[in-house]
Amino acid sequence: MPGDGLLWRCCRTCSFNAMLDGDLDRFAVRTLSLSRSPASAEVAGVLGVGEGDDIIRLERVRLRDGHPLYHTVKCFPGRPFPGFESAYAGR
């Protein structure tokens, strides 16, 4: 597997979800943290919001057969999503 280029070839031609087709019951997503905080200058610049504006930070890990496959941290502006935390908790 490593070094055979298979993953690279697949990632260039299909989506992650397409790679999982038929195997979805082997995958899970675990939320590690969900928080709202003031945007740092760096994050504000990337998101096009003001420094100190609310951002939502969502940290998750995707698992395959109970083993970590990848880790993500997503930050997005908080203003358009005033009830995000409670809506997400209800999933």
Per residue of the chain (91 residues), give pLDDT as tens: 444 444 444 555 556 666 666 677 788 999 999 999 999 999 999 999 999 999 999 999 999 899 999 999 999 999 999 999 999 887 7
- Token pair listed for 9: 């070839």
pTM of the shown model: 0.71
Question: Which residues, in sequence order, are CB contacts of 27 under 8 Å at separation 6+?
Answer: 20, 62, 63, 64, 69
Q: What pLDDT, on the 0 to 100 scale, is given for residue 8?
A: 44
Q: HEC profile for the chain?
A: CCCCCHHHHHHHHCCHHHHHCCCHHHEEEEEEEEEEEECCHHHHHHHCCCCCCEEEEEEEEEEECCEEEEEEEEEEECCCCCCHHHHHHCC
Q: What pLDDT, on the 0 to 100 scale, is given for residue 25?
A: 79
Q: What pLDDT, on the 0 to 100 scale, is given for residue 42?
A: 96
